[in-house]
Structure 1
Amino acid sequence: MTDNEHRNLKPLAALIFSSRWLQLPLYLGLIAAQVVYVVLFVRELIHLIGGATVLNEQHIMLAVLGLIDVVMISNLLMMVIVGGYETFVSRLRLQNHPDQPEWLNHVNATVLKVKLAMAIIGISSIHLLKTFIAIGTLGEDDVNYTEAGVMWQTIIHIVFILSAVGIAYTEYLLNLATRHSQESTEPDRPH
Structure 2
Amino acid sequence: MSDSADNTEKEMDVVTRLTRWAQIPLLIGLAIGMMLFLVTFVVDILVAVRTFEFMDRKKTILLILNLLDMVFIANLVIMVATNTYNSYRIRASAHGEDYILQGQMAYRRMKHRIVSTIIIISSIHVLSELLEYSQATALQVAALFGFHLILLATYVVTNVFESNER
Fold similarity call, TM over 0.5? yes
Paired letter, 1:41? F
Residues 72-112 of structure 1, C-alpha deviations (whole Å, 9 max, x = no match):
1011111111022212x225xxxxxxxxxxxxxx9600110
Residue aligning to 2:97: none
Structure 1 53/65 Cα, relative in aligned 2: closer, same or farther at 3 Å?
A: closer
Mean CA deviation greater in 116-125 or 22-31: 22-31
Paired residue for 1:132? 130
Structure 2: runs of 5+ lacking an equivalent = 1-5, 91-103
Quote the residue 1:164 is aligned against.
Answer: 155
Structure 1 or 2: larger helix share?
2
Q: C-alpha separation between the residues in 2 aligned to 1:166 and 1:26?
A: 31
TM-score of the aligned structures, taking structure 2 as reference length:
0.80
Output the aligned Cα RMSD: 2.5
Aligned-residue sequence identity (percent) comes to 23
> TM-score, normalized by length of structure 1?
0.70
| Displacement after TM superposition at 1:167 (Å) | 2.4
- Written as runs of structure 1 = structure 2, the 5 A alignment for 1:63-142 is 63-87=63-87, 89-91=88-90, 108-136=106-134, 138=135
Distance 1:86 1:51, change over 3 A: same
Determine which structure has more spread, i.e. the larger CA radius of gyration: 1
| CA–CA separation in structure 2 for the residues paired with 1:62 and 1:53 | 10
1:54 and 1:155 map into 2 onto residues whose CA distance is 31
Do 1:79 and 1:116's aligned partners in 2 also have CA atoms closer than 8 Å? yes
Count how many residue pairs are aligned between Structure 1 and Structure 2: 149
Deviating more after overlay: 15-24 vs 119-128: 15-24
Q: Which residue, out of 141, 145, 149, partners 1:150?
A: 141
In structure 1, the gaps of 5 or more residues are: 1-6, 92-105, 139-144, 176-191
Seen in structure 2, the aligned counterparts of structure 1 residues 152 and 54 have a Cα distance that, compared at 3 Å, is closer
